[in-house]
Protein backbone atom coordinates (compact mmCIF):
# COMPACT_ATOMS: atom_id res chain seq x y z
CA UNK A 1 0.00 0.00 0.00
CA UNK A 2 1.39 3.41 -0.97
CA UNK A 3 0.11 6.73 0.32
CA UNK A 4 1.33 9.82 -1.48
CA UNK A 5 1.13 13.18 0.22
CA UNK A 6 1.84 16.63 -1.16
CA UNK A 7 2.15 19.67 1.06
CA UNK A 8 2.87 23.33 0.37
CA UNK A 9 4.80 25.32 2.93
CA UNK A 10 4.43 29.02 3.81
CA UNK A 11 7.01 30.06 1.21
CA UNK A 12 5.34 28.17 -1.62
CA UNK A 13 7.73 25.22 -1.62
CA UNK A 14 6.05 21.97 -2.54
CA UNK A 15 7.24 18.85 -0.77
CA UNK A 16 6.21 15.37 -1.67
CA UNK A 17 6.50 12.29 0.47
CA UNK A 18 5.57 8.67 0.03
CA UNK A 19 4.55 6.42 2.88
CA UNK A 20 4.97 2.74 2.12
CA UNK A 21 3.53 -0.05 4.22
CA UNK A 22 3.60 -3.84 3.90
CA UNK A 23 4.72 -4.12 0.25
CA UNK A 24 7.94 -2.58 -1.07
CA UNK A 25 7.13 -2.93 -4.75
CA UNK A 26 5.58 0.53 -4.83
CA UNK A 27 8.96 2.09 -4.07
CA UNK A 28 11.24 -0.28 -5.99
CA UNK A 29 9.76 0.35 -9.44
CA UNK A 30 9.75 4.16 -9.24
CA UNK A 31 13.33 4.03 -7.95
CA UNK A 32 14.36 1.77 -10.85
CA UNK A 33 12.71 4.18 -13.31
CA UNK A 34 14.59 7.12 -11.78
CA UNK A 35 17.90 5.26 -11.93
CA UNK A 36 17.32 4.39 -15.60
CA UNK A 37 16.72 8.08 -16.36
CA UNK A 38 19.97 8.93 -14.57
CA UNK A 39 21.83 6.40 -16.72
CA UNK A 40 20.70 8.17 -19.89
CA UNK A 41 22.14 11.48 -18.58
CA UNK A 42 25.37 10.09 -17.11
CA UNK A 43 28.92 9.69 -18.24
CA UNK A 44 31.37 6.92 -17.34
CA UNK A 45 31.85 5.64 -14.64
CA UNK A 46 28.57 6.93 -13.15
CA UNK A 47 26.70 5.34 -16.04
CA UNK A 48 27.88 1.87 -15.11
CA UNK A 49 27.08 2.36 -11.43
CA UNK A 50 23.57 3.61 -12.18
CA UNK A 51 23.06 0.82 -14.74
CA UNK A 52 24.07 -1.89 -12.26
CA UNK A 53 21.88 -0.30 -9.60
CA UNK A 54 18.93 -0.19 -12.01
CA UNK A 55 19.32 -3.86 -12.88
CA UNK A 56 19.52 -4.85 -9.22
CA UNK A 57 16.55 -2.64 -8.32
CA UNK A 58 14.50 -4.19 -11.12
CA UNK A 59 15.21 -7.73 -10.00
CA UNK A 60 14.39 -6.74 -6.42
CA UNK A 61 11.03 -5.46 -7.73
CA UNK A 62 10.46 -8.73 -9.61
CA UNK A 63 11.13 -10.71 -6.45
CA UNK A 64 8.91 -8.35 -4.43
CA UNK A 65 6.05 -8.94 -6.87
CA UNK A 66 6.41 -12.70 -6.37
CA UNK A 67 6.33 -12.25 -2.60
CA UNK A 68 3.28 -10.01 -2.88
CA UNK A 69 1.52 -12.50 -5.16
CA UNK A 70 2.29 -15.36 -2.75
CA UNK A 71 1.19 -13.32 0.27
CA UNK A 72 -2.15 -12.49 -1.33
CA UNK A 73 -2.87 -15.72 -3.23
CA UNK A 74 -0.74 -18.61 -1.94
CA UNK A 75 -0.38 -18.27 1.84
CA UNK A 76 0.90 -21.82 2.32
CA UNK A 77 3.68 -21.28 -0.22
CA UNK A 78 4.43 -17.82 1.17
CA UNK A 79 4.85 -19.21 4.70
CA UNK A 80 7.27 -21.94 3.57
CA UNK A 81 10.77 -20.94 4.70
CA UNK A 82 12.32 -22.58 1.63
CA UNK A 83 10.19 -20.42 -0.65
CA UNK A 84 11.52 -17.29 1.03
CA UNK A 85 15.15 -18.37 0.61
CA UNK A 86 14.86 -19.55 -2.99
CA UNK A 87 15.86 -17.44 -5.96
CA UNK A 88 13.45 -15.82 -8.38
CA UNK A 89 13.32 -18.80 -10.77
CA UNK A 90 12.43 -21.29 -8.00
CA UNK A 91 9.90 -18.88 -6.47
CA UNK A 92 8.22 -18.57 -9.86
CA UNK A 93 8.02 -22.35 -10.32
CA UNK A 94 6.56 -22.77 -6.83
CA UNK A 95 3.86 -20.21 -7.56
CA UNK A 96 3.07 -20.75 -11.23
CA UNK A 97 4.15 -24.33 -11.88
CA UNK A 98 6.13 -23.34 -14.98
CA UNK A 99 9.63 -22.04 -15.64
CA UNK A 100 10.15 -18.31 -15.79
CA UNK A 101 12.34 -18.68 -18.88
CA UNK A 102 9.38 -20.27 -20.70
CA UNK A 103 6.87 -17.60 -19.68
CA UNK A 104 9.07 -14.49 -19.44
CA UNK A 105 12.24 -14.85 -21.51
CA UNK A 106 13.30 -11.22 -20.89
CA UNK A 107 12.88 -11.59 -17.12
CA UNK A 108 15.08 -14.68 -17.23
CA UNK A 109 17.71 -12.69 -19.14
CA UNK A 110 17.46 -9.83 -16.65
CA UNK A 111 17.95 -12.22 -13.72
CA UNK A 112 21.00 -13.72 -15.46
CA UNK A 113 22.47 -10.23 -15.89
CA UNK A 114 21.83 -9.52 -12.21
CA UNK A 115 23.50 -12.80 -11.29
CA UNK A 116 26.55 -11.82 -13.34
CA UNK A 117 26.77 -8.61 -11.30
CA UNK A 118 26.20 -9.98 -7.80
CA UNK A 119 27.65 -13.51 -7.66
CA UNK A 120 31.18 -13.48 -6.33
CA UNK A 121 32.15 -17.11 -6.74
CA UNK A 122 34.47 -17.48 -9.76
CA UNK A 123 33.07 -20.94 -10.56
CA UNK A 124 29.40 -19.92 -10.28
CA UNK A 125 27.77 -20.52 -13.67
CA UNK A 126 24.54 -18.60 -13.09
CA UNK A 127 25.44 -15.52 -15.05
CA UNK A 128 29.14 -15.24 -14.17
CA UNK A 129 30.11 -16.14 -17.71
CA UNK A 130 28.36 -13.04 -19.13
CA UNK A 131 30.32 -10.00 -20.27
CA UNK A 132 28.23 -7.48 -18.34
CA UNK A 133 29.79 -4.41 -19.95
CA UNK A 134 27.45 -4.74 -22.94
CA UNK A 135 24.45 -4.65 -20.58
CA UNK A 136 25.46 -1.48 -18.74
CA UNK A 137 23.92 0.99 -21.18
CA UNK A 138 21.07 3.45 -21.10
CA UNK A 139 19.04 1.42 -23.57
CA UNK A 140 19.50 -1.78 -21.59
CA UNK A 141 18.42 -0.13 -18.34
CA UNK A 142 15.27 1.22 -19.99
CA UNK A 143 14.65 -2.32 -21.26
CA UNK A 144 15.15 -3.64 -17.70
CA UNK A 145 12.54 -1.25 -16.31
CA UNK A 146 10.06 -2.02 -19.11
CA UNK A 147 10.61 -5.76 -18.65
CA UNK A 148 10.03 -5.43 -14.91
CA UNK A 149 6.89 -3.33 -15.31
CA UNK A 150 5.42 -5.82 -17.80
CA UNK A 151 6.20 -8.75 -15.47
CA UNK A 152 4.70 -7.04 -12.43
CA UNK A 153 1.58 -6.06 -14.36
CA UNK A 154 1.18 -9.63 -15.60
CA UNK A 155 1.72 -11.23 -12.18
CA UNK A 156 -0.22 -8.77 -10.04
CA UNK A 157 -2.63 -7.33 -12.58
CA UNK A 158 -1.57 -3.87 -11.45
CA UNK A 159 0.19 -1.18 -13.42
CA UNK A 160 2.84 0.92 -11.67
CA UNK A 161 3.33 3.36 -14.56
State the pLDDT confidence band at 161, using cuts at 50, 70 and 90.
low
State the pLDDT confidence band at 86, using cuts at 50, 70 and 90.
very high
Q: What is the pLDDT of residues 16-58, one digit of tens each?
A: 554 444 566 667 888 888 888 887 777 777 888 888 999 999 9
CA distances from 50 to 83, 109, 115, 131 (A): 30, 19, 16, 17
Whole-angstrom Cα distance, residue 46 to residue 110? 20
Domain residue ranges in the chain: 24-156
CA distances from 152 to 15, 80, 117, 130 (A): 29, 22, 22, 25
Strand partners of residue 17: 5
Q: Is 156's pLDDT higher than 60?
A: yes
| Range 136-157 average pLDDT | 92
What pLDDT, on a 0 to 100 scale, did the predictor assign at position 63?
95
Backbone angles phi, psi at 56, to 5 degrees: -70, -40
What pLDDT, on a 0 to 100 scale, did the predictor assign at position 129?
60
What pLDDT, on a 0 to 100 scale, did the predictor assign at position 32?
85
State the pLDDT confidence band at 1, using cuts at 50, 70 and 90.
very low
The secondary structure of 107-123 as a DSSP string is HHHHHHHHHHHH---TT
Give the global pTM.
0.78
Q: Is 148's pLDDT higher than 90?
A: yes
Q: What is the pLDDT of residues 92-146, one digit of tens each?
A: 999 999 999 999 999 999 998 998 888 766 666 655 566 788 888 888 999 999 9
Q: What angle in degrees, to the nearest 10, is found between the helix axes of 138-156 and 25-41?
A: 160
Backbone angles phi, psi at 107, to 5 degrees: -65, -40
Q: Is 7's pLDDT higher than 60?
A: no
Amino acid sequence: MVDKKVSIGDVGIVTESVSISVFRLGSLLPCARQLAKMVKKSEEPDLQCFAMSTIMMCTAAIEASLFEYAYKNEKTIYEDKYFRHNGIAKKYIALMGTKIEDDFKDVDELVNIRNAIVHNEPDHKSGRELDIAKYLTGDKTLWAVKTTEEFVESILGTSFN
